[in-house]
Amino acid sequence: MANRRLGRIVSHLSDSQQSFPTQNPVSQGKPVRVVVTGAAGQIGYALIPLIANGSMFGPSQTVILHLLEIEPAMKSLHGVVMEIVDCAYPLVVGIVPTSDPAVAFKDVDVAVLVGSFPRKAGMERGELLSKNGAIFEVQGKAIEKYASRNIKILVVGNPANTNCLILRQFAPSIPDKNFTALTRLDHNRAAGQVAQKLNIPVSQVRNVTIWGNHSATQYPEANYAVVQAPGSPTKQVNQLLDKAYLEGPFVPTVQKRGAEIIAARGLSSALSAAWAATCHVRDWWNGTAPGEWVSMGVLSDGSYGVPKGLIFSYPVTIKNGDWEIVQGLNFPEFGKEAIKTTTEELLQERELAFQKLNIPLK
């Protein structure tokens, strides 16, 4: 019965888009099919409106929302679908709510993989990796079998870097450059901290970087960050803020921000995570501005001494939908040690996860 009701909602949505023209005409081209997993969860609930209102793909790009949930959450997802219909988003031309990965990933162009098994009190890291490994094995196989061959994939669910690596193992025909993990949340947090410290709008802060894992071992770095105020010369952040701050309070503040938010509100940082996912895909889709880079978890090619085959956060520039790692940056001794620490954690996560899934280490 629930599935029939959802089907009627989807049909009604399509009819309403055809029957009621909007004040701002939308694209008549091919809609982007985007899947959100864990769509009825906190992050999904905050993310879907950002996709639907054009924040992710632009104000003239229509979308078809594929919304994946586990079977026990389908009632909640039904409510989310009703709200999407009630918002009457001009850009939304279809909704596909489902608990079946084969349906969810069918022909999708972009995947934002939010759903994952959360770490619970007393849970060992190996157990967490094992539970998430099972989830991302299923989704990887579905992507391999059903998705567009050029699907762009963003893993949000933690541990995001290693979940992304697992996913890649089960979707071997998808290009390596199409697998990414979310560290834009940490990037945005770093930019926000610099802006607060300097008492300037965050829009003026460029080129902070997150290196490594999306975890407390990440290395937030601002040695190459700049401040670009309108009508003023560009200034280096490391000339405006001293080393004691940039290698001191700045680093743990960014590393531990998620835990701090949980302590303050009793819930995870869903709003900022949803916005970060939107920024990540938006820049991947449209490109970065000249002279600007962003942080993305991508497959290491050995740059900066990081072992090949890890999903590692680097500074990247993006053009025509293709990212490139920024080369030639130098680190103080503090940074070298920080990168070593986060790399070692990722190597340990990969070993644990691959052992649980019986994936041979190459």
What is the 3 state secondary structure string of 138-200?
Answer: HHHHHHHHHCCCCCEEEECCCCHHHHHHHHHHCCCCCCHHHEEECCHHHHHHHHHHHHHHHCC
Q: Which helix (H) or strand (E) covers residue 127, if one does?
A: helix 125-146
Helices (H) and strands (E) in the chain, counts: 13, 14
What is the DSSP pairing of strand 152-155 with strand 110-113?
Answer: parallel
Query: Is-catalytic flag, 214?
Result: yes
| Single-letter code of the amino acid located at 11 | S
Q: Using alpha carbons, select from 54, 172, 174, 47 the residue that is nearest to residue 113.
A: 47
35 within 8 A of 110, measured Cβ to Cβ:
yes
| Torsion angle defined by CA atoms of residues 181, 185, 190 and 192, in that order, rounded to the nearest 10 degrees | 160
Q: Using alpha carbons, select from 315, 254, 311, 306 the residue that is nearest to residue 283.
A: 315
297 has which bridge partners?
181, 313
CA torsion sign for 25, 63, 110, 254 is positive
Joined together, the tokens standing for residue 136 give: 């991302």
Rounded to an integer, what distance in angstroms lies between the CA atom of residue 253 and that of residue 224? 19
Rounded to an integer, what distance in angstroms lies between the CA atom of residue 167 and that of residue 179? 8
| Single-letter code of the amino acid located at 27 | S
Q: Using alpha carbons, select from 73, 64, 167 the residue that is nearest to residue 113.
A: 167
- Active-site option among 12, 78, 187, 214: 214
212 within 8 A of 335, measured Cβ to Cβ:
no
Catalytic residues: 214
